[in-house]
Structure 1
Amino acid sequence: MNEHHERGHGDHYGHLNHGDVGDAGHCRAGHAPADWDALYAESDRIWSGNPNGALVSEATGLTPGTALDVGCGEGADAIWLAQQGWQVTAIDVSSVALDRARAHGEGAGVAVDWQVTSFMGMPSRDSRFDLVIAFYAALVKDGGATLSTLLDAVAPGGTLLFVHHADVDREQALEHGFNPDHFLDVAEVASALDRGWTIDVHEIRDRDIDGGAGQHHTRDVVLRALRSPVL
């Protein structure tokens, strides 16, 4: 997710990144790993290559620890976190995107654990991280299992940063093969945060965009929440 980007498919309408679409039974038309690979193969670079502005504003000042980037795309967010001292695991269902991200990381001189996998298919799915970020992530609802796993991935005392576009036109999205009802949104994640969480930020904000697919999206919904250090 990320790179002042909105990772998307086809004509880039949905602009979701690819967090969970690779699981068996979860693929929607146009959102399978092969579709994302085809998207990335269309160009040498899809996204701007810059870290997402919400990531920079919300993660600056946090004490570096372990971080998980769900649907990392070409890797700009993961690379930025690594440059700040985080130990980053970055996942994506597209091997083309991960090859590109790995090359960018090597060029930046940082070490990131790049994994070609969906979120629910992660080998380290039981691990917990001090920071979990999901920018425009295509996380299938799956009867609550995906949401539960997402929240469980945050370590006690850790931070969740979950961001999606504001003001998505549902009918237009459906015309482009993307049904928002199938995927987690910010409101659903926020409503699932019980007394063991503190919501620090839940707001719509303007985006500062300097290129990349989907730059016509001008506002995001940003959620940052802190998990209690005592479970």
Structure 2
Amino acid sequence: MFRTRPRRLLTAAAVSVGLVLPIAVVPSAMTAGHHKAPILNLETLTGLQAEKMMEEGKLTSVELIQMFLDRIAALNKSGPGLNAVTQINPDALKEAALADKERADGKVLGPAHGLPILLKDIVDAPRCTPGSATTSTCRSSGSSASSLWPTRPADTALRLTRTVGPRLAGTVSHVNSDTWNARYAEKELVWTAQPNRFLVSETDGLMSGSVLDLACGEGRNAIWLTEQGWRATGVDFADIGIAKAREFAASRGVECKWLVADLTTYEPPKHEFDLVILFYLQLPQHELGPVVSRAANAVAAGGTFLLVAHDSRNLTEGHGGPKDASVLYTAEDVVPHLGELTVERAESVIRPVETDAGVRNAIDVIVRAKRTW
């Protein structure tokens, strides 16, 4: 974030989706200065604008961070329920007050002094370098638990960012089982009970055997495959989703094997399944690659790998789907991780979607590959 000085947007409350712990609502604090706190549009405010206002005494770090804490609470709880911020720094306002004092004393650490930041909890702090703490260039920790929680000041990424001025408001994560559990608990079925259309068309003509459904959700695809004669195993990190899958399967009179596991750490048995499917898995690139690689390794001799996901182009050219570009990808992003599999299909496809305003086109990516030995 420190290298994008020309326009450093401060939309910290809406950067990614995921949840580790629920957000506590932080009460509005009294302004520390002698001026009335300004009314700001946090969605358009840039770092340069905030810096200039602080230099001119029109804005304090305490005021700005309080605005973001209020914004986070509103978006997570009272608004769309994004739950993007995993943990709030309990000392955020204290650190902001210190930044204000340092500025008043003429001790400005850097151009981002006193500005609020969020750190992604998917980084492995000891391997981070300045400027990379909010990107995917740090190695994944393989866990949704935050490695940057502020009670551990020795963590490298947090320590390095503090030395150049920003103040930690909280940590964020792309994915977390709590978020999906909450979603699955909202209604009887989040998704339709019918199998995915591409699953039906792409498996037509395949001989039934064993199938591994990774990120199976409520189990609709695994259950349909079982009804077609397959022996299905469904894996998902949302235990409520798996519980619903079990109930759904029982209501349809079929038996599947269900497993609660995080795909970022789950190791399926190698060369075990005649079909391995990954449908609409949303992960950043540095986590997606290893998951795809392990999934490909699980394909047995003569077996098939099938991935369907939201294409990156869908964000700007298609309908619906995630709005976080970091969890979207293309066929070219997937194919390099297939190892020894032979690619049979790797392309973008149009998926018509019925809406109240008529048919809209979503853009998906399909990758199908086979183990020939």
Rounded to whole Å, the distance in 1 between the matches of 2:200 and 2:294 is 25
Report the residue type matching 1:24 in the other structure. S
What is the deviation of 1:152?
Answer: 0.8
- Kindly indicate whether residue 161 of structure 2 is the aligned counterpart of residue 42 of structure 1: no
Match among 70, 86, 90 for residue 234 of structure 2: 90
Instruction: Look up the match of 2:143.
Output: 24
Structure 2 residue 334 is the aligned partner of structure 1 residue 169: no
Q: Secondary structure at the match of 1:218?
A: strand
Contact (CA 8 Å) 1:53, 1:207: kept in 2 or not? no
How far residue 138 of structure 1 moved from its aligned partner, in angstroms, is: 2.7
In the alignment, is residue 178 of structure 1 matched against residue 297 of structure 2?
Answer: no
- Any idea what SS the aligned residue of 2:281 has? coil
After TM superposition, give the deviation of residue 74 of structure 1 in Å.
Answer: 1.1
Question: Partners in 2 of 1:72 and 1:142 — Cα distance?
Answer: 18
Cα distance between partner residues in 1 of 2:222 and 2:236: 12
Asked if 1 retains the 8 angstrom alpha-carbon contact of 2:314 and 2:362, the reply is: no
Counting only pairs closer than 5 Å after superposition, residues 50-89 of structure 1 correspond to structure 2 as 50-89=194-233
Structure 1 residue 147 and structure 2 residue 292: aligned? yes
8 Å Cα contact 1:92/1:116 also seen in 2: yes
Distance 1:188 1:177, change over 3 A: closer
Alpha-carbon distance, 1:23 to partner: 4.8
Q: Superposition RMSD on alpha carbons, in Å?
A: 3.4
Q: 1:132 to 1:184 in 2, by over 3 A?
A: farther
- Matched with 2:303 is 158
Between the two proteins, the alignment pairs up a number of residues equal to 205
Which structure has the greater CA radius of gyration? 2
Identify the residue that residue 107 of structure 1 maps to in structure 2: 251
TM-score after normalising by structure 2:
0.48
Q: Which residues of structure 1 form unaligned runs of 5+?
A: 1-7, 14-20, 171-175
Which has the higher relative contact order, 1 or 2, with Cα contacts under 8 A spaced 6 or more apart?
1
1:200 paired residue number? 344
Conserved 8 A contact 1:162-1:186: no
Name stretches of at least 5 consecutive residues in structure 2 with no aligned partner.
1-16, 19-75, 83-139, 147-171, 317-321
Alpha-carbon displacement from aligned partner over 1:37-71 (angstroms, at most 9, x marks no partner): 11112222211111001000011211111111011
Letter in 1 for 2:290: A
Q: 1:210 to 1:200 in 2, by over 3 A?
A: same
The reply to whether residue 117 of structure 1 matches residue 236 of structure 2 is: no
2:247 partner amino acid: A
Name the SS for the 1:24 alignment partner: coil
Instruction: Choose between structure 1 and 2: higher helix proportion.
Output: 2
Identity level (%): 32
Q: Quote how far apart the aligned CAs of 1:204 are.
A: 2.2
The one-letter code sitting in structure 1 at the alignment partner of 2:341 is W
Which region of structure 1 is more displaced relative to structure 2, 115-124 or 97-106? 115-124
